Every structure is written in structure tokens, then in C-alpha cells.
Amino acid sequence: MRSIFSLPFGHTTGMASFEKTFSPQNLQWEHIVGDTTRLETVLQHSRFSLASYDFADSEVVRAEFDDYARFYTIRVLSLKWFDHPQAVQMTPIYVWADDTHVVSFAKEPLQAVERARQKLSHNPDWVSSSARLVYYLLDEVLASLFAFLDKLYEQVELLEDHVLTEHRTQGIEHHIFALKREALRVRRAMASMRDAISQLVRYWTAQYPDDPFYYMELYDHMLRQFDSVDTYRELVNSVLDLHLSTVSNRLNEIVKTLTLVTTVLLPASLMAALYGMNFDYLPLVHYRFGFFVVLGLIVAVSSLVYGIFRYRRWI
């Protein structure tokens, strides 16, 4: 897979190369998708050659910020929810930046990067430094996380409705624990992104003290998202507690019903046991209508017990 664009923010032609200079700093952004060979070539011919990542690692679940002498690097994560199977896909986005160049890399095309490209292509005057360019890129990445969190919340709501409305509980535990596991993965990823964004904002504040830009908005967004993940994780735990409580209540109802039925039939069982004994001298044993008398007595006593239960609202 190879998809490359290079932005000095002048003439735009889709995903092609942009060769106009728009600022005195000759600021340029090059984004590479999937082509690690091209990325290595770009890094080797730039000031970013000291920074390296293991791109063969397919399970990157942490963000990271590194400050070098002449540039900095940051790795953030783009999150996507899949319904079948229920799982979170984490796609790392790598960024290298100095005063005049920004290089970014992702293993697959991302809508957040494309939105940032379109926004900056149509508004090149927004970018007066590489920090602002990286800001707009990360801002789109974090904005996409709000949609992901909404999707995660929908999954929690669906699971809660399923617990409350479905009488069959088989398999629900699997979905609850799967969602709980994914929520924990997301929380860990968000925690690392919060720390990386915090370090980046402190770096920007130290490097650009006279720039009155709103860098702290990135960190504020990250804090809101991290708090949301914590809330959703607690909601999943609440759904688990609700499920266990529902199962317990249903079991109690079943036991209660069986107990009442057993109690109503207990007099009948007692009489049947008495008259089932092999004694010649039992009341009504030799009476012509003895069977019907005992049967009527059983029905009367059982009805009386049932009526008492109904009167006391036990059933």
C-alpha cells in the first residue's frame, strides 16, 4: 500500500505532491500511508533519522512522545470499533516534526488525516509554524475519538437493554466480559495518549512561549475523553452487577414459585402418605365413599392454603 502527499499548502491536487512555498519557514508536511520503505528513505534524508519505531509491531497499544535535540516525535492512536467481532482496532499514527518539516505515517488511510489535509489545504494561513500544523493534525485525530466513544457508549446501552429485556441469560456474560476487556484496553490507550499529549503541550509551551495559540485545547479534549472512558468502564461494571442481580432475582422468583407450589401440595401429600399405609384400621378405609371424602378433603385443604397465600399476597 502506498499513498503519499506532501504539503507546503499552496496549489492542491488531491493526494498528489504540493510544490509551492507558502511561508517564510518553507514549512512542508509529508504524509505516508503503508510504505515503510518510502518512510525510511524520507527519515534517512532528514533530521529525523535518529528516531526509529518498530513498524513490524502489529499490536501497538500505547502512545509515546520523545523530545530530541532538534526535533520531536509523537505516536498517537486512532481507534475504531468493530461490531463483528466486538473489538477495538488501534491504528498508530507516527509524527516527526522540527521547525520546518513534518513527516507523518500510518499503516492505513485514516479519515482524520484526510480531514486535516483538506482543512489545511484550503486554509494555509492557519499554519504559521510546524507546531500549529501538528496541532491541527492531532486535533482531527482526537475529534475522531469522540465518535468512537459515542459508539462505545451505544454498545454499553445495547448490552444494558439486553440484560433488562432478555430472559435468556446464556451468552450474556461473554458479551459483558468482552466489552469490559475492550474498555480496559481503550482506557490504557487513552492514558498513554493523555501523557503523550501532556508532554507535547509542555514542549510547545517551552519552545513557543510567545505563540498565543490554544495548545491546551488538545490536552483538555484528551482529559474529557479519558474521563468518558472511565465512566463507560464503570457503566460496564454496573451492567455486570445488574446482570448478576437480575439472574439472582429470577432465581429467587423461581424458588419462590416452587416453594409455594410445594407448600400448597404438602397437605395432599401428607394425606396420600397416611392413606397409603398398609393398616386395616384407618378412618374411612372401608367406607363406600371414603375415597371421594378424602379427595374432597385434600382439595379443600389445598384450596385453603392457596387462599391464605393469596390473602397475604405471597402469590
Output the average pLDDT for the chain: 78
- 283 and 134 in a single domain? The answer is no
238 and 265 in a single domain? The answer is no
The CATH number given to whatever domain includes residue 280 is: 1.20.58.340
pLDDT at residue 25, rounded to an integer: 52
Residues 196 and 151: their CA atoms lie apart, in Å, by 24
Q: Which pLDDT value is given to residue 183?
A: 87
Q: So what's the pLDDT on residue 262?
A: 86
Tell me 66's DSSP state: E
Sheet bearing 87-97, strands edge to edge: 3-7, 28-33, 101-106, 87-97, 72-82, 64-67
Write out pLDDT tens, residues 11-20: 333 333 333 3
Element (H, E) at 7: strand 3-7
Place of cell 498528489: 16
Q: How far apart are CA 133 and CA 127, in angstroms?
A: 6
Clarify whether residues 193 and 273 are in a common domain.
Answer: no
**Are 265 and 187 members of one domain?**
no
* Candidate ranges 79-83, 109-113, 172-176, 277-281; pick with highest mean pLDDT: 109-113
Contact 32, 39 (CB under 8 A): yes
CB 147 within 8 A of CB 29: no
Do 242 and 262 share a structural domain? no
Query: 194 Cβ partners below 8 Å, 6+ apart?
Result: 219, 222, 223, 226
- Domain termination residue (choose one: 227, 248, 269): 248
Per DSSP, which regions of 11-109 are E strands? 28-33, 64-67, 72-82, 87-97, 101-106
Q: Domain range for residue 172? A: 3-248
The answer to whether 43 touches 51, Cβ cutoff 8 Å, is yes
pTM, entire model: 0.71
Smallest CA-to-CA distance from 159 within 94, 246, 71, 236 is with: 236
233 lies in the same domain as 283: no
Residue 21 has pLDDT above 60, yes or no: no
Please give the full DSSP string across 10-37, using - where no structure is assigned.
SS--TTSB-----STT--EEEEEES-HH
Is residue 72 scored above 80 in pLDDT?
yes
Q: Are residues 156 and 135 part of one domain?
A: yes
Nearest residue to 17 (alpha-carbon basis) of 26, 186, 8: 8
Q: Are residues 300 and 242 in the same domain?
A: no
pLDDT band at 80 (very low <50, low <70, confident <90, very high): confident
What is the rounded CA–CA span in Å between residue 135 and residue 130?
Answer: 8
Do 263 and 138 fall into the same domain? no
Inform me whether the pLDDT recorded for 61 exceeds 50.
yes
Tens digits of residue pLDDT in 206-239? 887 776 567 788 888 888 888 888 888 888 888 8
**pLDDT digits 0-9 by tens, 251-281:** 888 888 888 888 888 888 887 777 777 667 7
Binned at pLDDT 50, 70 and 90, residue 60 comes out as: low
Residue 125: half-sphere exposure toward Cβ, Cα within 13 Å: 0
Q: Are residues 212 and 159 located together in one domain of the fold?
A: yes
∠ at Cα 145 (75, 32), nearest 5°? 40
pLDDT digits (tens, 9 = 90+) for 134-186: 888 998 999 888 888 888 888 888 888 888 877 776 778 788 888 888 888 88
Most confident of 35-49, 91-105, 119-133: 91-105
Q: Give the H or E element holding residue 271.
A: helix 216-274
Residue pLDDT, tens place only, 196-205: 999 988 888 8
pLDDT digits 0-9 by tens, 34-50: 877 788 778 777 777 65
Report the interhelical angle of 216-274 vs 172-207 (nearest 10°): 160
H helix or E strand, kind and range, residue 3: strand 3-7
| Number of CB atoms found within 10 A of residue 255's CB | 10
Structural domain ending residue among the three candidates 248, 278, 301: 248
What amino acid occupies position 124?
P
Residue 4 has pLDDT above 50, yes or no: no
pLDDT for 24 equals 36
pLDDT bin (cut points 50, 70, 90) of residue 10 is: very low
Number of domains in the chain: 2
Q: Is the same domain home to 297 and 237?
A: no
**Percent of the chain scoring above 90 in pLDDT:** 1
Co-location of 72 and 171 in the same domain: yes
Predicted confidence at residue 165, as pLDDT, reads 79
Which of the listed residues 248, 264, 290 is the one where a domain comes to its end?
248
